[in-house]
Amino acid sequence: MRPLVTALLRLAPETELTLFFVPDDYATGREPDVARRMFPRAHVVAPADYVRFALGGRLADAPDSADLVLYLGGDLLHAARVHGRLGGRARSYKFARKRWVKTFERVYAVDAKNRRELEALGFDGERVELVGNLAVDGALGEAAGAFGPSTPGPAVAPGSILVMPGSRRHEIASGVPFFLHMAVFLRERRPDLPVAFALSPFTNDAEIARALATGGHPNVWGVRGTVVPMSEGIGLLPEGADVPFPVVRDAMRYAPQARLVVTLPGTKCGARSARRADDRLRALERAGGRGHQWAVAVPRSRAVRRYVLEARYGGRRRLPLSADRAAEHGCRRDPDARTPRHPNAGRRSNERRGLRG
């Protein structure tokens, strides 16, 4: 959304813009607040208010009519409902369905494959326009400073290891303590390698503090700590340490200068995760003009043991490390931790073996 809205308001600053956020299982719940900070001139409708609007209610921040309704994500049904209430024209980005062929006058494709998919649904060539990927545009724009001054934060030294633990609630709850343990491990063995954390603007300080207070899930080798103020922004202070690790909010601005970027898969499929890392790498190479090393960390469990930690450096080589080998290189589970057993684990195991009872 950010690159599109930024460009729209730059090219047509008189545009009256309303952003509808719809219910989404993958949302953090803080997207409307972030949108209000990014675009103070726009009208922002939060998911709960949108539901009232969709059911026929009136909202102070919702217009009575629209020239154009543009779908950017979520279920297409929501865009169709907004269009039904506000009128005007309707367009869609990336996704469409046969039932909406007459509703959307134009659809925007992210690549040639997406274009063919949209044409197969019944949108003729003139109604499909190839525009590129907004997610990549957002990453490149942030790296180039296209969205204005960076969010205030501590200074991060060039050549740092940049940790991106994710933005979903469960990723913050266990990923931040886990990667903080990794940062402590690196600081003890390589104090010359500075480590910084890149956290999403959708993640607030209180959520991070709760995660560090508990140390995360007992089976992820996390450490406890606190959130402390720094000269600008915040830092993560491990329990028993004196020096915090700095936190930045605009990750892509710092990634091109990082020695290594460590992140988590954005999907349960390990192969797709590796491809996503490659896509991010290519985007950063285009932004910074050189190669960067990315590592995608995968949990160590039987369910994902065949997946790997994969790093690619400078577009020239791949360095696969199995999750088991990664554990052998210093990842040791807290001996006091206990693995919670799912109440149906035994039944599921027997069912897989063809046993009953």
Could you report how far apart the first and last alpha carbons of the chain are, in Å?
A: 52
Nearest to 195 by CA among 204, 184, 209, 207: 184
pLDDT tens digit sequence for 202-256: 888 999 999 999 998 777 778 999 999 988 789 999 999 999 999 988 877 787 7
How many residues are given for the chain? 357
Distances (CA, A) of 236 to 25, 30, 94, 156: 28, 21, 38, 14
Decide which of 319 and 287 is more confident.
287
Confidence of residue 339 (pLDDT cuts 50, 70, 90): very low
Domains of the chain, by residue range, sit at: 2-144, 161-328
**Most confident region among 24-28, 129-133, 257-261, 284-288 by mean pLDDT:** 129-133
| Predicted pLDDT of residue 140 | 77
How far apart are alpha carbons 307 and 323 in whole angstroms?
7
CATH number corresponding to 2-144: 3.40.50
**What pLDDT score was predicted for residue 98?**
92
- pLDDT by residue (tens digit) across 263-318? 776 533 333 444 444 455 555 455 444 445 666 555 444 333 333 333 332 333 33
Q: What is the pTM of this model?
A: 0.67
* Cα 211 from Cα 177, distance rounded (Å): 7
